[in-house]
Structure 1
Amino acid sequence: MNEPVFIKIADLIGKPRAIAAADGEMVFKEVYPVLKEGTPVVLSFGGIRMVITAFLNAAIGKLYRDITGEEVDRLLVVTELSEAFHPALEHSKTWSKAYYADPERLERAIKEEYGDEE
């Protein structure tokens, strides 16, 4: 197995708050090609004081689109994430796996529940 690639989010996005989807996209662009080739990634949240789901969906959730959940879960190691943000990470991963497994089914279910609120 290849040596893990270490990515420190605070250094990459240049701020202590991981709240913007655009910053999450920046992280995704670094992580995705490495995971796609089967190399493990250690994603450090060291120095990050705030995290929201929009960032996590863009940075991590989107990985489940083209890589199996088993592969992402095996190859991606999240470190130094405050316990307070673990539920947000788990929520993002759970919903991303469900969405990318069958996006049309999930979109239909949402429309049935909420209607077309555009």
Structure 2
Amino acid sequence: MNDQVKIKVADLIGSSLCISAEDGQKVFGKVEQLVREGKQVTISFENVTMLISLFLNVAIGQLYGSFGEETIRAQLKVEGLSSDDMELLKRVVDNAKKYYSNKKSYDDAWLEEDNNLEEDNNEE
């Protein structure tokens, strides 16, 4: 049995453009399932021509809500990214770790901000 799986992002989403949350969710769903099964997963960005943080937040950042950092480090590899895209991924991962380590506080802060904006709009 082979416990190593390579996911070619461009093949999975059917595009070289990694720009939508929906496509990021496809990658997340596949990766999450494989990691839960104990597989070693390589996410390949070969043939990807455009990559934005929204996609990475959904595809990879979300994994930090399902797994600990140790699990992700042990079972996940990423290949085929330019140095700029690796920097983007690093920022996404850092933000995801902060968010999921204190999710309730972040969510409460966003909720409070939304309520303040709503009140400001109602006063106009």
Q: Same fold (TM over 0.5)?
A: yes
The root-mean-square deviation of aligned C-alpha atoms, in Å, is 2.2
Residues 1:104 and 2:104 aligned together: yes
SS at match of 1:38: coil
Partner of residue 43, structure 1: 43
* More moved, 20-29 vs 34-43: 34-43
TM-score by length of 1: 0.88
* More moved, 53-62 vs 67-76: 67-76
User: Which structure has the larger Rg over C-alpha atoms?
Assistant: 2
Higher percent of residues as helix: 2
Contact residue 98 and residue 106 of structure 1 kept, 8 A: no
Return 5+ residue gaps in structure 2 as ranges. 119-124
Aligned length: 118
C-alpha distance in 2, partners of 1:114/1:101? 22
Return 5+ residue gaps in structure 1 as ranges. none
TM-score by length of 2: 0.84
**What is the percentage of aligned positions where both structures have the same residue?**
38
After superposition, the Cα gap between the structure-2 partners of 1:109 and 1:80, relative to the gap in structure 1 and judged at 3 Å, is same
SS at match of 2:15: coil
After superposition, the Cα gap between the structure-2 partners of 1:88 and 1:105, relative to the gap in structure 1 and judged at 3 Å, is same
C-alpha displacement of 1:116: 3.5
C-alpha displacement of 1:82: 1.5
Contact residue 17 and residue 48 of structure 2 kept, 8 A: yes
Partner of residue 63, structure 1: 63
- For residues 12-67 of structure 1, the C-alpha deviation after alignment (integer angstroms, 9 at most, x for no partner) is 11111101011000001111011112211000000001111100011001111111
